[in-house]
Amino acid sequence: MGKEVNGVSRSRFEMFSNSDEAVINKKLPKELLLRIFSFLDVVTLCRCAQVSRSWNVLALDGSNWQRIDLFDFQRDIEGRVVENISKRCGGFLRKLSLRGCLGVGDSALRTFSQNCRNIELLSLNGCTKITDSTCNSLSKFCPKLKHLDLASCTSITNLSLKALSEGCPQLEQLNISWCDQVTKDGVQALVRCCPGLKGLFLKGCTQLEDEALKHIGAHCPELVTLNLQTCSQITDEGLITICRGCHHLQSLCVSGCANITDAILHALGQNCPRIRILEVARCSQLTDVGFTTLARNCHELEKMDLEECVQITDGTLIQLSIHCPRLQVLSLSHCELITDDGIRHLGSGSCAHDRLEVIELDNCPLITDASLEHLKSCHSLDRIELYDCQQITRAGIKRLRTHLPNIKVHAYFAPVTPPPSVGGSRQRFCRCCILL
């Protein structure tokens, strides 16, 4: 073999002769052509491979296939396709997304693991055929793996987490959302051997309890993102351990974890000042007291989902308006105690003029057109949700639009006189979005 240039031997360039009449092939060095091809997507590369023999060599060179996303072709992807790609790419491949490729199973991924040992990012989200066998293959052959997405791979168990902990110590981000067979034993094995974990997505892992969170808090000091949505068994005890052990935490989702109280907000305020995203939808025990502590200590908050935090009042909005100048997205849907006065403070707060982009006020019955007046100076406001706000009128929305002409307003106006029910059963109405 001749000397390599960007992964292609010079002997492979010998087929570019004067008989190739294409001007581009005569004018540009083959190394430069190869570099140009490296920016093309999968479809374009395959098309270029059909142009000529010389372009076929360049387009199908493994160095051009370092990042592959097959999501757009998910219905057509079978195991043999993944096997062929892995043989062509070999050690060049760094990132592969097979998200939603239902036809790919353990056998193909074993071949892939053997051929692509430098893989760093792999998405198998929704590949429901795979089992613990795939994680065993990754553990054995892919020590450089950093990001792995196994969301909705429901056959995954604790054995997968134990295998990954043994063979993939560089793991930084793992998504096992909806892998509901995972328990504290798997989490314990994982975090003990992967101390560099920065992102952990455990949404829908319903068997997890506080004991699992204690292991995370004890072994993951670099954790930045944690998603525990609908992990309904967790309580303050486990989450406080997370706050005390993970001071770099920037994003926390505990929506649907109905057992948590203001103690979590106090712990975040005391230990996690860098928190930027907090999702606590349907956590109905949280109150103004907790959010006051949070706002006064966490000034980098950008996104908050407080939907169905039914105990909060205007007091929370007052604190956010004073202490959280970076707030961009705020959901207050079903917070039925919020009034125009709270929106007034928010609209005149430090985040209002240049930062606030989205505010959701669905099912806030005390909100009136006055709130829209208070928001008209929020020049960055891109979207407002007003479903079932019975005191909001079309005229009020029209006035808001004179100040913010590009704003998207989603509202629902119930008929004045509902049609009579048929057969004694209660009629259900379609709550379609009206874009005004």
Alpha-carbon span 312 to 56, nearest angstrom: 63
- The two beta strands, 358-360 and 329-331, are parallel
Q: On the CB side of 88, how many CA atoms lie within 13 Å of its CA?
A: 20
- Each residue's pLDDT tens digit, 266-279: 999 999 999 999 99
**Structure tokens belonging to residue 396:** 């009020």
Alpha-carbon span 255 to 231, nearest angstrom: 9
Mean pLDDT of 2-20: 47
pLDDT confidence of residue 106: 98
Contact (Cβ atoms closer than 8 angstroms) between residue 164 and residue 194:
yes
Alpha-carbon span 418 to 143, nearest angstrom: 63
Mean pLDDT of 178-201: 97
Mean pLDDT of 210-221: 97
- Residue 32 pLDDT > 90, yes or no? no
pLDDT confidence of residue 21: 54
pLDDT confidence of residue 311: 98
Contact (Cβ atoms closer than 8 angstroms) between residue 256 and residue 279:
no
